[in-house]
Structures are given as C-alpha cells and as structure tokens.
Homo-oligomer: A and B are copies of this chain.
Amino acid sequence: MIYWKNYPQLSLQLETVQKTLLATIKVKNPQTQAAILSLLSSGGKLLRPAYLLLFAELTSLDADKRIALASSIELLHTATLIHDDVIDKAETRRGVPTISHLYGNDVAVYAGDYLFVVIFKLMIKHALDLSNLSNRVDAMEKLLDGELGQMNLRFNTEQTISDYLNNISGKTAELFAQACAVAPFADGQDKLAKLSYDIGQNIGIAFQIMDDYLDYTADTTTFGKPVLADIRQGIYSAPVLFALSADENVADLLKKEDFEGVFARIKATHALEKTQHLARKYTRKALKLIEKLPENPVKSDIRQITENLLERKL
C-alpha cells in the first residue's frame, strides 16, 4: 500500500482488507472471477476503507467488524465502478481493460449485481445487527436514488452550481460520508456519527470538484478525452457551469457542439479558478469539522491525510 506508507498501522489494516476482498469473490465463471479480482487489485488507493478504518479508531468496534465494514464499502464502490463502465462504454479503468470491454455488458452487469449481494453477505455475516443493517440499506438507497436523480439534468444548460453540488453530494460524497460515519454509528455513538458523516460529505464534495477540475487542467490547450466524453453525454461539471453562468453564449456553443469555443469561454470567464476556489471552500469546511473530533492520536492522521488528498496540485 504505497500510498499509505507513512501510516504503517493503517497500511497493515488495508492489506487485510485487500485480502478479504480477494477471498470474498467466488464466482463460478472463471473469466469474471479473474476480471473482478484484477479490478480489486489494480492499485485503487482504498480511500473509502481507509477513512472507515481511521474513524473506527474513535470507536470500540473489534478488528473483525472494522475489516468487514471496510471491505464492504470498497465492494460497493467497485460494484458502482463496474456498472459505470457499462454505462460509459469505458474500455479501461486504472490501466486495465474494463469487465464490460473484455467480456461484454452481460458479464459486467451481472458481476456488479453479484457484488451487491456479496456486500450484504459481508455485512450480515461479520459486522452488523439488524438495526444497523437497516440504516446501511437506507444509505445505499439514498446513494442510488442520487445517481438516478442526477440523470434528469443531462444536457440542461439551465442547471446551476447548486444543482451540481446537490448531484455530487449523492453521487460521490455519500459514499465518503458513509465511510466516515459507519463505524461510529455501529458503535452506538450517534453524535460522533453525525459529525463524521458531515466530515465525509465535505471531503467527498471537495474530492469530486478536484477531480472535475483536474480533468480540465490535464491539458491546457484543448479538452482532454474524459472531459469531451462527459460533455458529449450532457454531463456538465463545475468548469462548464461556471462558464455557463458567466457568459450567455456558452449554452449556444454547447448546443452547436463547438467544444473549442466552450473551452475558450471557460478560460475567459476564469471558470477553472472559480472551480478551484469552490473545492478549497469544502476542503476548509472538512478540516474545520475535523478539529471538532474528540482528542485522539488518529485525529492528526485524519487531518493530514485529508490535506494531502485534497490539496494535491491545487
């Protein structure tokens, strides 16, 4: 776990999570088995399990439960990635061919479904009682409802930054919020769970804005591939929305598919700087809330990891 080399205890726990993930997948179809395992070991940072394990240090949960919960949140993330790749017709993910590209949409759709079931299996067998489980399921419902809700806004040039923030709250931030809150919640620490949830929400929102920002700055003279693909599908992230709100011609340029024109307006309206400022606002909110966590050696790790994560390249 090279990304976590400065946090040896966390790194060890994440290795156990990694082993648990690989041991949990037992699909009859050998190709699907190989494809899921390869995705799970293709060097994702295990960010969500890491936050879960960090916040678990503030609880009295035993090691087995922590590992099971951390594994299940990474599986949930993985299941949504597999289904996202079907939807986006993506050919690679983290440098390896996607399941949908290698074996077709049929295998990819069922592989994601299979992971959903495995998630529940892990939660039921190792981690949660019925009332905790019920809360988890409500959270997953919220997450998927968020994914479905945002689809209304495709190609809508009237949407605002506030719509965008609403979308990424459901899409990205909910999973971070769950990662931070689930251990305190399972431990019965409702007040801490609420604070942790809010921290995770702000981290997730800042993380997604950063991601959308970096897509645009990968190459400064023209759109990068992911940006073009998104815009073509009617997905407008912060830079486009800031340009839309500052310059009434941008809506027309989008409709005419004049993407070079859109990019020129993004530059002229300082939309990228505004995006960066927006990300920073949520990063600061997250860091401010982290200060409210109870005193504990893990608190400075959470602060440091969050700063490193969100201030990369900013």
Contacts and interface: CB of A to CB of B under 8 A. Distances in A.
Interface residues of A, number: 45
A110 interface: yes
Interface in A201-223: none
A261 interface: no
A295 interface: no
Q: How many chain copies does the complex carry?
A: 2
Given A124-B137, A125-B134, A133-B124, A114 B148 contact: yes
B149 A28 contact: yes
A107 interface: yes
A28 B149 CA distance: 5
Interface string A117-156: 1101100110001100110011011001111110110000
A66 to B, nearest CB: 19
B109 A145 contact: no
Given A27-B145, A120-B137, A138-B121, A87 B111 contact: no
Contact of A113 (B83, B103, B124): B83
A164 interface: no
Contacts of A125: 134
25 contacts: A27-B145, A28-B146, A29-B151, A29-B152, A31-B152, A32-B148, A32-B151, A79-B113, A83-B109, A83-B110, A86-B86, A86-B105, A87-B109, A103-B151, A107-B151, A109-B112, A110-B144, A113-B113, A113-B116, A113-B147, A114-B145, A117-B141, A118-B141, A121-B138, A121-B141
